[in-house]
Amino acid sequence: MSKTIIVSNRLPLQVKIENDNLEITPSVGGLATGMKSVHSEGDGIWIGWSGLTEEELDESLKKKVEQEVKKEKCATVPLTQEDLEHYYFGFSNRTLWPLFHYFMEYTEFEKDYWDSYVTVNKKFAEVVLKHAEKGDTIWVHDYQLLLLPGLIRESMPDISIGFFLHIPFPSYEIFRTFPWREEVLTGMLGADLLGFHTYDYERHFLSSIKRILRLDVNFNEIIYKDRVVKVDSFPMGIDYNKFHKAAKENMDRLPAERSDLQQRIDDHFMKDKEAKLILSIDRMDYTKGIPNRIRAFEYFLNKYPEFKQKVRLVMLAVPSRSNVPQYQLLKKETDELVGRINGQFATVSWTPIWYFYRSLPFDNLIDLYTSADVALITPVRDGMNLVAKEYIATRVKKDGVLILSEMAGAAKEMNEALLINPNNFEAMADTLKQALEMPVKEQKKRNTMLQKRLRRYSIDKWAAEFFKALKATQNLGQVIVAS
C-alpha cells in the first residue's frame, strides 16, 4: 500500500542523553507542532534528525534511538558534529534563515557551509530513498532541505513530491544576492507542488524563477524540463480543537488541581481585579521582535503611567539555536532590557515583566494562553506565527485581545486582531492601551470571527488541501507528455 513520507530537518521529537539514559521531549516550533497532528493520524513515516550527533552515540545507543523513534513512526538521518556546525548552525541558520527573513546584515555566505548543505541534503535523500516505494507521496519541509526535492527526483522520476516552505520567501531584490540562487531554485523545482504560507511569498518565488532561471511561468505553473511544477499558497492552520478543548479543561479545573504556575497567576490576579496580564510566547529568535516589544512596553509605561502596578508582561522565550552568535547577543540584550525595566519600575508588590527563558510543558502553555487578557505578538518578520492562532483558539469565553505584527504571515488572515508595525513604538504603546481598554463586547465580536475562520481552516484542512493539490499535479504532468 502506498504511504506518505514526511521529511524535515527536525523530527517532532527531540532525543537527548541524560545520565546515560535517553530523554525524549517534543520539538518546539511551528513546523513540528503543526505537522505532528497530521502525522499522528496517518500511517506514513517521518524522516529527520533526532537531535543527537553520531559522535554522541555508540552502537547500542543508536539502536535504542531507532527503537524509540520507530514507536512514533519516525526514522532518523545520521548527522555528524561537523554537519551540525556547517549545515545546521551554518548554512541553514547563518545563511538561509537571516537572508529569507530580510536580515541581510546577519547573512554569511560561506562556501564550507554550502558544501555541507549539499552533503547533508544528499544524506537525507539516501534515507528517503531507502524508505520510498513506487506510488508513495513524499512531503518535504522547510528551508534546511531546499535541494532535497531535486535529489529525490533524480532517482525516482515518477514519484509524487510536495514541498512546503514554513518561512517567508524573500523578494527578488534580496534573493538575487544569494550566491547559490540557481542551485536552490532548481532543487526546489524537483517537487510537483511548492507551497507557501501567503500569496506574497508565492509571488516573490515566481518572480525569482522568471528573473533568475528565465523559465516560462503560466499563472502559477512553471514549465521545467518535461514537467509542470505548480506553486500555491496554503496558510498553515492549527489543531484548533486540541487547543480549545485543553483550554476548556483548564478552566474547569478546581483550584486545588491547578498547576503551580496557574496558582501563582491566580493569586496575583485574584487580588487585584483590575490587574491585566499581557502575554508573549516565542522561540528566542531575532525575527520575533523581542527587544522591540520590551522597549515599546517601557514607552507605554512612561506614556500611560496610570497602568503601572496594573499590567504585567509575561514573556516566555524558548531557547533556540544558541550556538549562533546573533542568538547569544539577542539573549544578552533581552536579559539587560528586562533587568533595566524591572529595576526602573518595580515596586515591592509589582514586577512589570515576568520573564521565562525555558521551554514549558503543553499544560503550562495553556495556563498562560487562558490567563492572558492581551497577547502581544510583535515579530519583525515571521513566515506565519502559530502562537497568534493558538491564543485565539484558547479563548473559550471569546474575550481577550490579540495584538499582532503586520509582518507575520498570520496577519493576512487575522484582520480582526489589532495589527501593528513592530518598529513603531508610539503606535504599539497606543494599541496596547486600546487593547487594555477594549470593551468585552468588542473583544467577543472580533474573536468570534477569528475563531470561526481558524476552526474552519484547521491543520487537517490545510494538509488535506495540500494533498489534494499535489494529487491534481499528476494530471498536469500528463498534459505535457501528451502535447
Binding site for ligand ADP (CB under 6 A): 26, 28-30, 33, 281, 283, 318, 359-360, 365, 384-387, 390
| Beta pairing class for 227-233 and 193-196 | parallel
Q: Which residue has the cell 501567503?
A: 198
Element (H, E) at 455: helix 440-456
Start-to-end CA distance of the chain, whole Å, equals 32
In one letter, which amino acid is 460?
Answer: D
- Among ligand ADP, ligand G6P, none, the one that 386 touches (CB under a kind-dependent 5 to 8 A) is ligand ADP
Q: Do 332 and 284 form a contact (C-beta atoms < 8 A)?
A: no
CB 321 → ligand G6P: shortest distance, Å? Answer: 5
Q: Which of 172, 164, 336 minimizes the C-alpha distance to 235?
A: 164
Residues 9-48 within binding reach of ligand G6P (CB under 6 A): 10, 29-32
- Among ligand ADP, ligand G6P, none, the one that 33 touches (CB under a kind-dependent 5 to 8 A) is ligand ADP
- Among ligand ADP, ligand G6P, none, the one that 10 touches (CB under a kind-dependent 5 to 8 A) is ligand G6P
Residue 233 φ/ψ, nearest 5 degrees = -105, 140
Q: What is the 3-state secondary structure (H, E, C) of 18-52?
A: ECCEEEEEECCCHHHHHHHHHHHHCCCEEEEECCC
CB 307 → ligand ADP: shortest distance, Å? Answer: 27
Q: Is 267 in the active site?
A: no
Enter the C-alpha cell of residue 127. 534515507
92 CB neighbour count, 10 Å cutoff: 23
- Among ligand G6P, ligand ADP, none, the one that 291 touches (CB under a kind-dependent 5 to 8 A) is none
Residue 366 φ/ψ, nearest 5 degrees = -65, -40
- Among ligand G6P, ligand ADP, none, the one that 281 touches (CB under a kind-dependent 5 to 8 A) is ligand ADP
CB 10 → ligand G6P: shortest distance, Å? Answer: 4
CB 86 → ligand G6P: shortest distance, Å? Answer: 15
- Among ligand G6P, ligand ADP, none, the one that 365 touches (CB under a kind-dependent 5 to 8 A) is ligand ADP
Q: Which of 447, 449, 439 minimizes the C-alpha distance to 392?
A: 447
Largest CA distance in the chain: 78
Q: Is 142 in the active site?
A: no
The catalytically annotated residue of 39, 101, 141, 166 is 166
Residue nearest to ligand ADP (CB): 30
Q: In whole angstroms, how far apart are CA 147 and each of 114, 206, 274, 474?
A: 11, 17, 54, 21
Considering only 76, 121, 320, 447, the residue that binds ligand G6P (CB under 6 A) is 320
- Among ligand G6P, ligand ADP, none, the one that 385 touches (CB under a kind-dependent 5 to 8 A) is ligand ADP
Distance CA 383, CA 197 (A): 7
Closer residue to ligand G6P, CB minimum distance, 32 or 388: 32
Strand, helix or coil for residue 277: strand
- Among ligand G6P, ligand ADP, none, the one that 360 touches (CB under a kind-dependent 5 to 8 A) is ligand ADP
Closer residue to ligand ADP, CB minimum distance, 140 or 281: 281
Residue 232 φ/ψ, nearest 5 degrees = -155, 165
Closer residue to ligand G6P, CB minimum distance, 377 or 436: 377
166 binds ligand G6P per the rule CB under 6 A: yes
Closer residue to ligand G6P, CB minimum distance, 142 or 202: 142
- Among ligand G6P, ligand ADP, none, the one that 94 touches (CB under a kind-dependent 5 to 8 A) is none
Closer residue to ligand ADP, CB minimum distance, 209 or 290: 290
Closer residue to ligand ADP, CB minimum distance, 174 or 238: 238
Distance CA 201, CA 393 (A): 26
Distance CA 218, CA 346 (A): 60
Closer residue to ligand G6P, CB minimum distance, 52 or 167: 167
Q: 175-178 long-range contacts, Cβ below 8 Å, gap at least 24?
A: 175/99, 175/204, 175/208, 175/212, 176/208, 176/211, 176/212, 177/99, 177/104, 178/99, 178/109
Closer residue to ligand ADP, CB minimum distance, 229 or 366: 366
The catalytically annotated residue of 83, 142, 373, 382 is 382
Distance CA 90, CA 108 (A): 8
Q: How many residues bind ligand G6P (CB under 6 A)?
A: 10
CB 426 → ligand ADP: shortest distance, Å? Answer: 26
CA angle 430, 435, 441 (to 5 degrees): 140
Q: Which residue has the cell 537525507?
A: 124
CB 29 → ligand ADP: shortest distance, Å? Answer: 4
CB 469 → ligand ADP: shortest distance, Å? Answer: 22
142 binds ligand G6P per the rule CB under 6 A: yes
167 binds ligand G6P per the rule CB under 6 A: yes
In one letter, which amino acid is 359?
Answer: S
Closer residue to ligand ADP, CB minimum distance, 209 or 316: 316
In one letter, which amino acid is 128?
Answer: V
Strand, helix or coil for residue 205: helix
CB 365 → ligand ADP: shortest distance, Å? Answer: 6
Residues that are catalytic: 166, 382
Name the residues that contact ligand G6P, by CB under 6 A: 10, 29-32, 142, 166-167, 320-321
